[in-house]
Amino acid sequence: MLNGERKIPRPLRWAIIGGGSLSQVGYKHRSGALRDNTAFQLVASAFDIDAVRGRQFGVNLGLAPARCYDNYQQLLEEEAKREDGVEVVTVATPNGTHYEITRAALTAGIHVICEKPLFFTTAEAREIKALAEQKGLIVGVTYGFSGHPLLMQMRAMIAKGDIGEVRMVELQYTHGFSANESADKFSEAQKWRVDPKIAGPSFVLGDIATHTFYISQLVLPDLPIKTLLCDRQSFIPSRAPLEDNAMVLMHYQGGAVGRMWASSINAGSMDSQSIRVIGSRASLEWSDYNPGELKYEVQGQPNQILHHGMPYLDESALADERLGALHTEGLAESWANIYLKFAIAISASQRGDRQTLETLIYPDINAGLEGVRWIENCVRSADNGATWVTYE
């Protein structure tokens, strides 16, 4: 169980690029990183494309004015001059800038934590992966809800054979907040998401479905995709070619099949993501709408509901628990868990602790690369008439 005690020798000096006062996601990064003040310390920022607004925001958060920078270039340049310069930077900008900022930060010798989808292409992701390895630096990807303890439980139960042989993976991340066009026009935080130049080759596949895809990889680490078919729509025509709805079919190596439904036009729905893994003996199901429950349904037996924080859970799940059974945990705890693992990885990297680096489970550069790869395959299928493509 986590209670804020330090897991690394000292907090890391951390900066954030993007995620300013108009951002929806910036607060999730700060909440996650600074949960206990024992993993990260926020020391610098380049919060906003509007430099004045960004500086003011930094000051309002308690940052030293001198370290509230106008842009990421300035941040990297000035911090490089300091003895106590930043060690790790979070990239919470629109997708189109992830690649260049990440490359610049790594080149400057700084660890990176980056929003999803990581980049536009797998070529970029592979290049950055090579760069990070060469530099000995960590790249973490903020698949936010993937830090929930019950996903570790799901992973452990599947690994132990509790559901038998995996037959089907049912994935969904849908909501209705883009059911009409107005959001695209008036919300700064929304507008760029449907502009291919800034968002990249997809809207909902990258914006939301990559979260759930990563969760499927987290709980099913040994289930590679063989072929895939993606059928995508732009119900708001101005969004084309970017999709606001996508239906994906997957064939995994070994015979299992899968589905993903990603949508931002699921009108009226507050449900967000869910995963159901069906085995030959039982199924496991989890949704971030009610994240403290894990359904375990053994064919022919009473259905079971496992609750977070309970002693009967796997030790890997209990290790990431924060509040304990009875006390609803949510998104913020998951982000805090991920950020803590980023800190552990970075600290291990700094101290040359190979063993930690090899065993720690967290969304790393490979997870980011796999997300980009999945989108790339989906888009290739969709653009080819929603036909089956071999997973490349």
Q: Residue 6, by phi and psi: left (phi above 0), alpha (psi -120 to 50) or beta?
A: beta
Q: Among 13, 67, 193, 322, indicate the residue that binds a second copy (CB under 8 A).
A: 322
- Neighbouring-strand partners of residue 15: 44, 89
Check binding of 245 to a second copy (CB under 8 A).
Answer: yes
Binding to a second copy in span 329-388, by CB under 8 A: 329-333, 385-388
Q: Among 111, 155, 175, 373, indicate the residue that binds a second copy (CB under 8 A).
A: 175
Residues 274 and 262: beta-carbon distance below 8 Å: no
Check binding of 290 to a second copy (CB under 8 A).
Answer: yes
Residues 144 and 338: beta-carbon distance below 8 Å: yes
Check binding of 389 to a second copy (CB under 8 A).
Answer: no
Q: Which is nearer to a second copy, 107 or 387 (CB)?
A: 387
Check binding of 303 to a second copy (CB under 8 A).
Answer: yes
For residue 381, the one-letter residue type is: S
Q: Among 185, 267, 319, 351, indicate the residue that binds a second copy (CB under 8 A).
A: 267
- The CB-of-209 to a second copy minimum distance in angstroms stands at 15
Check binding of 109 to a second copy (CB under 8 A).
Answer: no
Q: Among 9, 160, 186, 312, indicate the residue that binds a second copy (CB under 8 A).
A: 312
Give the integer Cα–Cα distance in Å for 155 and 148: 11
Give the integer Cα–Cα distance in Å for 349 and 109: 12
Q: Which is nearer to a second copy, 150 or 345 (CB)?
A: 150
Check binding of 55 to a second copy (CB under 8 A).
Answer: no
Give the integer Cα–Cα distance in Å for 335 and 181: 30
- The CB-of-145 to a second copy minimum distance in angstroms stands at 9
- The CB-of-121 to a second copy minimum distance in angstroms stands at 27
- The CB-of-73 to a second copy minimum distance in angstroms stands at 25
> How many CB atoms are located within 10 Å of the residue 123 CB?
11
For residue 244, give the 3-state DSSP assignment.
coil
Q: Which is nearer to a second copy, 106 or 163 (CB)?
A: 163
In DSSP notation, 16-38 reads EEE--TT-SSHHHHHHHHTSSSS
Give the integer Cα–Cα distance in Å for 41 and 321: 22
Q: Residue 70, by phi and psi: left (phi above 0), alpha (psi -120 to 50) or beta?
A: alpha
Check binding of 179 to a second copy (CB under 8 A).
Answer: yes
Check binding of 111 to a second copy (CB under 8 A).
Answer: no
- The CB-of-3 to a second copy minimum distance in angstroms stands at 4
- What x-and-dash track marks residues 23-52 binding a second copy by CB under 8 A? -x-xxx-xx--xxxxx---x----------
Q: Which is nearer to a second copy, 109 or 324 (CB)?
A: 324
> How many CB atoms are located within 10 Å of the residue 230 CB?
29
Binding to a second copy in span 4-23, by CB under 8 A: 4-6, 11, 21
Count of chain residues binding a second copy (CB under 8 A): 93
- What x-and-dash track marks residues 195-234 binding a second copy by CB under 8 A? ----------------------------------x-x-x-
In DSSP notation, 45-88 reads EE--SSHHHHHHHHHHTT--GGGB-SSHHHHHHHHHT-TT--SE
For residue 300, give the 3-state DSSP assignment.
coil
Check binding of 281 to a second copy (CB under 8 A).
Answer: yes
Check binding of 262 to a second copy (CB under 8 A).
Answer: no
As a three-state string, the secondary structure of 128-195 is: HHHHHHHHCCCEEECCHHHHCHHHHHHHHHHHCCCCCCEEEEEEEEECCCCCCCHHHHHCHHHHHHHC
Residue 115 per-residue DSSP state:
P
Q: Which is nearer to a second copy, 162 or 195 (CB)?
A: 162
- The CB-of-385 to a second copy minimum distance in angstroms stands at 7
Check binding of 168 to a second copy (CB under 8 A).
Answer: yes
